[in-house]
């Protein structure tokens, strides 16, 4: 079985990793933790392109380094699963598109993602990664919700 975990380091993503780590998976299963690094800025400023390119690359490298540290932490929690191989992948770009591409290219059997619980205007403006996965992934999708306190 191939399980892809959509991971961004958020509490919801941590809950998804915990859910996957708590389950007994068939021997020989593979878990891939996928993190997407979004572009730090959309377009260069009209003046100062020669300054923008190095700054953009430093910001991008910094974001990738942080994503790498977060994903390594998630892999440590999955490392104790017997008979299961865990790996990771860092992708760049739009989160929804990059995750859906990773799911298709890796031929995942199951996707596990956390739900941030964004609603209202924020959901309209930002969109919902969970909704995109549920409606467009070519495999089963499990959305893990964090328990609310109170």
91 part of a folded domain: yes
36 part of a folded domain: yes
64 part of a folded domain: yes
Domain with 124 in it:
2-145
131 part of a folded domain: yes
135 part of a folded domain: yes
Go through the chain and tell me how many residues it has: 150
Contacts of 140 (CB under 8 A, 6+ apart): 109, 110, 111
| Residue 116 and residue 60 in contact, taking contact as beta carbons nearer than 8 Å | no
150 part of a folded domain: no
69 part of a folded domain: yes
| Residue 75 and residue 68 in contact, taking contact as beta carbons nearer than 8 Å | no
pTM of the predicted protein model:
0.84
CATH number where 116 lies? 3.40.50.620
Cα distances (angstroms) measured from residue 25 to each of 22, 63, 83, 85, 121: 9, 32, 8, 11, 38
* Residue 126: predicted pLDDT: 44
Q: What is the pLDDT along the chain (150 residues), one digit of tens a residue?
A: 999 999 999 999 999 999 999 999 999 999 999 999 987 655 555 555 565 667 777 888 888 899 999 999 999 999 889 999 999 999 999 999 999 999 999 999 999 999 876 555 544 544 589 989 999 999 999 999 887 655
* Residue 12: predicted pLDDT: 92
Residue 8: exposure state from Cβ atoms within 10 A (0-12, 13-18, ≥19): buried
* Residue 76: predicted pLDDT: 93
Say how many domains are in the chain.
1
92 has which bridge partners? 37
Which tokens is 120 given?
A: 């209202």
């Amino acid at each position: 079985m191939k399980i892809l975990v959509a991971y961004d380091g958020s509490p919801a993503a941590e809950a998804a990793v915990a859910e996957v780590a708590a389950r007994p998976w068939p021997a020989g299963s593979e878990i891939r933790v996928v993190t997407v690094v979004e572009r730090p800025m959309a377009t260069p400023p009209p003046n100062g392109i020669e300054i923008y390119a190095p700054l953009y690359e430093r910001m991008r490298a910094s974001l990738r380094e942080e994503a790498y540290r977060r994903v390594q932490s998630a892999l440590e929690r999955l490392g104790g699963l017997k008979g299961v191989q865990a790996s990771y992948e860092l992708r760049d770009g739009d989160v929804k598109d990059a995750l859906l591409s990773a799911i298709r290219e890796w031929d995942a059997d199951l996707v596990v993602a956390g739900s941030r619980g964004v609603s209202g205007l924020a959901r309209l403006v930002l969109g919902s990664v969970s909704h995109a996965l549920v409606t467009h992934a070519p495999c089963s999708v499990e959305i893990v919700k964090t328990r609310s306190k109170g």
